[in-house]
Structure 1
Amino acid sequence: MSNKSNAELSRMTIAAMDMICYSKEKIESRADLMRRIIAEAEKTFKQSVPGFDLDFVLTGSKGDGIAKLFESDIDVMIVLRKFLCLDNARLENELNIIQILSTDSPPGYTKLNPLDMECNSFGAVFLGFTSAYDLNRGQVFLSSTCARNLMELAYELFPLPYEGVHRQMKQQCGPSVPASISLNIFTITAWKFPATESDNVIALPYISSSILDVWKKRNRKWPPPHLCQEVSETEGFVVPVGSSYSEEQNFEWRISFTKGENILVSHFSSVQLKLYILLKMVFKKIVKPNCGMITSYIVKNILFWVAERNNLDMFTPDKLIDLLLQCLAFLRECLHSNFLPNYMIPSRNLLLGKGTPHDKIKLNRTLTDILEDSDCVVMRLDTIRNSIRVIYQSPVSARQYSEMRDDVEKLAILTNLIVCSKMSPALMQQSTFVYDLLFEFFKEPSFFGILFSLFSLLNVDLSSFASNPGQLMELLYGLLS
């Protein structure tokens, strides 16, 4: 495809993505909504269960805002406060200090040696159960495997105590304990909310004396120096998972700089955000059916590296397709060397333990096919192709649909914020919490205004809603997921 054709298709793809809710404004609105929901949940939890010194950190696609309102899973990092992991540890008042021992662990992983552990908090009791004494070294280490198993056991022993809410545990994946949460409050209509996939990870705060300093000083074209400085000052975390190829993986924890990565994504330009989403679409719709070894986290790291190597003026609307192909070519180069460096810790190989040799051969073939047939890659994505067709055939209809969808999402976001504002410890202590929360929302003066606005936007009449209340939610989920 010529550069002129690439530029034209890039601009059409940008317009299509704006039409289907991927404008920078919408992405930032969704990210802000999810952060506020998690903040409300954290505040209410702390009020309801005093003594649990935890912070909730939203991660993943929901945290970045690139997932639609009712799309994707919710990834939450549960940070145990009053603990601090340090490279050069020393005892501190009011803190349980944990020594980082990473010299004999694979890059990006470490062992944890608690120097002192007060047993008067939930976190200390939890970590106490994960401790094991190493006879060879004469030291106590925290077991990452025990930490994950304990968290899963806690979920099974203490199910969600709310009527109409059901949690089903799923197979452990990486450091997380995944669960599927289903909500069935419309039993009369035999319609249930789609299940919400939730990945929760226990984490300990970590302050590195060198890793982020080395990262900050790296020669690069992006991010700018002031942003590098901001990222270098964020705290890191250690999460309970070891390297799959390590003999001591049960005692290894992975080092993560989630907050720094979140800051980088929040400073993406409009084109960088669309490239991120488009790359995820390509892997989900085109690559994954042939080979599923590429995770969302790998996609994010690919984008970080490509962004670092390009001047900011490269990220323009007419170069979106060229940038997409550059990302795919970068992954193929990494595949040939069997090494994809982690963006924050380059010595850590993100391809290690990912897929079999056969999987990597299939992935290489798929990437080669895409790059050789580069003019068709975007048109193989149904959502983008259909949106471009609508824009081309009926610009007025495209604009009307985009405006309608934006208005519906604004109302849905407003509804979520109002519902969150009604959360309280008193409500959460009731088994009918979900029903009580909805009832509080129904008493909100703006409720009927929001409801009738949605009726109008989604062409739902009052009589059909009365006979099938779940119809409105089905339309909302169909449009926003």
Structure 2
Amino acid sequence: MTRLGYGEEIRRWRVARYCEHDRHLNAQLRDFTLMTAGSKAEGLTCLFESDRDILRTLNGVICVETGINLNTIPDDISVFWMDDTGVYPGHCILLLKRPARLLYTIINDALCEIGYGKLLLSSVLFIDECSRLATRHRLGTVETVLHERAGPALPETRGGILKLDYVYSIRCQCPSILHRWAVRPRHWPQSVVVQKVVSLGAYVTPTGFRESENKHIEWRICFNSGETELMNNLNETQANVYVLLKWILKEIIKPTNKEITSYVLKNIILWQAENTPQTEFHSRSLLHWLHDGLRGLRTAIEKKLLNYYMIPERNLMEACGLEDALKRKWIKDITEMIESGPNVILRLEKIRKAIVASPEPMLWFSKTRTELEMLNLEKMNRVTKCENENGEHDVPDFMLYALRKRQEEILREMMIRMLMEGCSINEFPKMFERINVW
């Protein structure tokens, strides 16, 4: 796993680089606060291996549970009340409690009257306004393609290979939900991590429960910052189990309509960690916990039940669209994987190639792939930092020059090696992308 780019050292390094990039980007923003989420924030994917999930939180707006003292919230912040009456667990409706003197257009245009002088914030209208805002903002961006909305996410592709998923959100205060999570008996994480997760708070994103009649006005409660903190506190074995489960989902189970997502697997791993002493997760127990994760996934599919780690009352498999025929097939496939014992990992292409590859070329590939990814992330941060300091992209910078020069040297070495091994020169343009997907 280390040679394939999933070792503990490179994982921690990625986390630090994406956090740094978020800081540089937020220095340029006024109305939003940006945060990398998902696998990129957890350091568990290579550069172009998957989408980069970015949470854009609207500043100057907050939603709160009943009982929060509004006098503790500055007057220049609009306040919404989270009403969870009659909605599916983990969701709520936002009622305007106290508008700020200056109300964002994106908020004002998404408000709906419900009688008796009350206003609620429609999730559908909000995401529509965000989509229009994103379209206006991205029209002048070179080589940027905007894609169709996917749930609360607004996807786009830059330069043909960099895939971004923007999710707009509003920060919320829900101390009672976080308290119920914090006081659960557990083996993991440590109390200091629990308190940090509580302090990071929550968000609401504009998406309702799929089968709800009122999904156009419902919002989902999320804990992106807290979940990232939890995932970053998993040890190397737990992180590797999660990565292997994601590969199994993508290469073997192959859901076509997101009946099962990597988020389901993440919750299986979090429950596994909470209910088990941390000392039981070590390198020699990797396959044991991989099989345990597969059993958890099989149970979730069979019963169509998996409790959300932060709010157990919410069933992540509810309304997942899983048909009986597909359910039976996946149960059979997972059972066969469990019965195959250690050989289950040989069904994964990356693992097979790593085992079959000669030691010297594999080490060269691992070293080259890692260095290219590190150079790219460093260059990404340097470009953004130069923009902040100089306001221009093309101001000469020694560090940028050195990073680009080293990239060119590595790519030249790759090209020479490919030609010596009989590869066509036509294969070279896509090599850079492929090597960073591993």
- TM-score (norm: length of structure 2): 0.89
Partner Cα distance (2:233, 2:13) in 1: 14
Partner Cα distance (2:117, 2:303) in 1: 39
Partner of 1:43: 27
Partner of 1:125: 105
After superposition, give the CA deviation of every residue in 1:101-146 in whole Å (9 maximum; x if it has no partner): 113211000111111212525xx321111111123x7631110111
Query: Which of the residues 164, 168, 186 maps onto 1:220?
Result: 186
- Is 1:335 paired with 2:335? no
Give the Å deviation of 1:213: 0.8
- CA shift in 2, pair 1:291/1:111, >3 Å: closer
Task: State whether residues 291 and 362 of structure 1, in contact with CA within 8 Å, keep that contact through their aligned partners in structure 2.
Answer: no
Partner of 2:370: 406
- CA shift in 2, pair 1:98/1:130, >3 Å: same
Partner Cα distance (2:399, 2:310) in 1: 48
Give the Å deviation of 1:304: 0.5
Give the Å deviation of 1:446: 2.0
- Is 1:450 paired with 2:406? yes
- State how 1:227-376 maps to structure 2 within 5 Å: 227-288=193-254, 292-358=258-324, 359-376=326-343
Partner Cα distance (1:444, 1:159) in 2: 25
State the aligned residue count.
Answer: 427
Give the Å deviation of 1:39: 2.4
Give the Å deviation of 1:326: 0.4
3-state secondary structure, aligned to 1:75: strand
Structure with the greater relative contact order (CA < 8 A, sep ≥ 6): 1 or 2?
A: 1
Partner of 1:109: 91
Partner of 1:173: 150
Give the Å deviation of 1:405: 3.0
Task: State whether residues 408 and 457 of structure 1, in contact with CA within 8 Å, keep that contact through their aligned partners in structure 2.
Answer: no
Partner of 2:59: 81
Which segments of 5 or more consecutive residues in structure 1 lack a partner in the other structure? 1-16, 47-51, 184-193, 429-435, 462-468
After superposition, give the CA deviation of every residue in 1:266-296 in whole Å (9 maximum; x if it has no partner): 1111111111111111101111168851112
Give the Å deviation of 1:86: 1.1
RMSD over aligned Cα atoms: 2.7
- Is 1:478 paired with 2:422? no
Task: State whether residues 82 and 95 of structure 1, in contact with CA within 8 Å, keep that contact through their aligned partners in structure 2.
Answer: yes
- CA shift in 2, pair 1:28/1:470, >3 Å: farther
Give the Å deviation of 1:449: 4.4
Partner of 2:5: 21
Amino acid at match of 1:127: I
Partner of 1:152: 131
- TM-score (norm: length of structure 1): 0.82
Amino acid at match of 1:346: P
After superposition, give the CA deviation of every residue in 1:369-428 in whole Å (9 maximum; x if it has no partner): 2223333320000111111223xxx43443343333333333333333322322248757
Amino acid at match of 1:286: I
- Is 1:383 paired with 2:362? no
Task: State whether residues 188 and 277 of structure 2, in contact with CA within 8 Å, keep that contact through their aligned partners in structure 1.
Answer: yes
Task: State whether residues 108 and 348 of structure 1, in contact with CA within 8 Å, keep that contact through their aligned partners in structure 2.
Answer: yes
After superposition, give the CA deviation of every residue in 1:284-325 in whole Å (9 maximum; x if it has no partner): 111116885111211111111111122112211111111111
- Is 1:202 paired with 2:168? yes
Partner of 1:3: none
Task: State whether residues 276 and 303 of structure 1, in contact with CA within 8 Å, keep that contact through their aligned partners in structure 2.
Answer: yes
Amino acid at match of 2:146: Q
- CA shift in 2, pair 1:206/1:453, >3 Å: same
- Is 1:31 paired with 2:10? no
Partner Cα distance (2:391, 2:345) in 1: 48
Partner of 2:80: 98
Give the Å deviation of 1:59: 0.8
- CA shift in 2, pair 1:138/1:243, >3 Å: farther
Amino acid at match of 2:84: S
- Decide which moves more: 443-452 or 355-364: 443-452
Partner Cα distance (1:470, 1:426) in 2: 38
Task: State whether residues 76 and 102 of structure 2, in contact with CA within 8 Å, keep that contact through their aligned partners in structure 1.
Answer: no
Percent identity for Structure 1 against Structure 2 = 25
Give the Å deviation of 1:34: 2.1
Partner of 2:387: 423
Query: Which of the residues 29, 36, 43 maps onto 1:65?
Result: 43
- CA shift in 2, pair 1:70/1:247, >3 Å: same
- CA shift in 2, pair 1:118/1:274, >3 Å: same
After superposition, give the CA deviation of every residue in 1:60-118 in whole Å (9 maximum; x if it has no partner): 11111111012211211111122221112435423211111113211000111111212
3-state secondary structure, aligned to 2:132: helix
3-state secondary structure, aligned to 1:237: strand
Task: State whether residues 71 and 480 of structure 1, in contact with CA within 8 Å, keep that contact through their aligned partners in structure 2.
Answer: yes
Which segments of 5 or more consecutive residues in structure 2 lack a partner in the other structure? 418-424
- CA shift in 2, pair 1:138/1:360, >3 Å: farther
Give the Å deviation of 1:159: 3.8
Amino acid at match of 2:108: G
After superposition, give the CA deviation of every residue in 1:300-353 in whole Å (9 maximum; x if it has no partner): 111111111221122111111111110110122223332111100010110111
Task: State whether residues 76 and 100 of structure 2, in contact with CA within 8 Å, keep that contact through their aligned partners in structure 1.
Answer: no
